[in-house]
Copies of this chain bind each other. A is one copy, B any other.
Amino acid sequence: MSELLTRSIQDYLKHIYELTEHGQLASTNDLARALQVKPASVTGMIQKLASDKPALVAYQKHQGVTLTATGKMAALEVIRHHRLLETWLVQTLGYTWDEVHEEAERLEHVISEEFEARIAAALGNPTRDPHGELIPSEDLTMPADESTPLASLRPNQAASIQRVDAQDPDLLRYLESLGLTPGVEIEVTAYSEFDHNLTVKVGRKSNVLGLSITSKIFVENGK
């Protein structure tokens, strides 16, 4: 799996992985939004990736793309780099979880396999990054994710936060200020069916959270 893959291609593959993780096809528009690029540029790149020597994506005009086995390996390699880097920035350099994303976004493309191995070992081969996201294993397998969105819980259900699917620093700081971070136990005490707000108890405090937040927090282990 050694890389002749450009930075740009690595980012395409990573985002295609994320958009197709649950069996969907990634649309040109969704990719354009994720990559901050115009749809026409996505079409161009996708056509190139699809016609590469060993194709990195499977593509049919107007239908969207998925990754080939080769493309998936390359994507998982980048994702592993990203998540190990985030973990390591937090644990060894004192970054906070709202600061790491941007730094990792650049570093992920330039570290060697040697570097990856050394930080993984130094961290004790972690399985989750600071946001609770699962880290692909060294052999590029993505562990199964058992969690469900907090939004799907209803009053009297308790659970523990597994991961927070967000990179926006403001949102992350806000969540931290409420104590909504991975590992924390929470309980839903109220649900408003019109706006889908949930009232969530953390320790002694309760907060009312809208769907745009509860859909980004993933929990497990409701009692």
Contacts and interface: CB of A to CB of B under 8 A. Distances in A.
Q: How many copies does the complex hold?
A: 2
A103 B99 contact: no
A111 B110 CA distance: 11
Interface string A76-101: 00000000000000001111000100
Interface in A119-174: 119, 122
A196 interface: no
A118 B99 contact: no
B122 A93 contact: yes
Contacts of A52: none
Contacts of A92: 92, 122
A94 B117 CA distance: 12
Interface of A is mostly: helix
A207 interface: no
A93 B106 contact: no
Contact of A107 (B94, B110, B114): B110
22 contacts: A92-B92, A92-B122, A93-B115, A93-B118, A93-B119, A93-B122, A94-B118, A95-B118, A99-B114, A102-B112, A103-B111, A103-B112, A103-B114, A103-B115, A106-B110, A106-B111, A106-B112, A107-B107, A107-B110, A107-B111, A109-B110, A110-B110
Given A107-B107, A107-B111, 10 more contacts: A92-B122, A93-B115, A93-B118, A93-B122, A94-B118, A99-B114, A103-B111, A103-B112, A106-B112, A107-B110
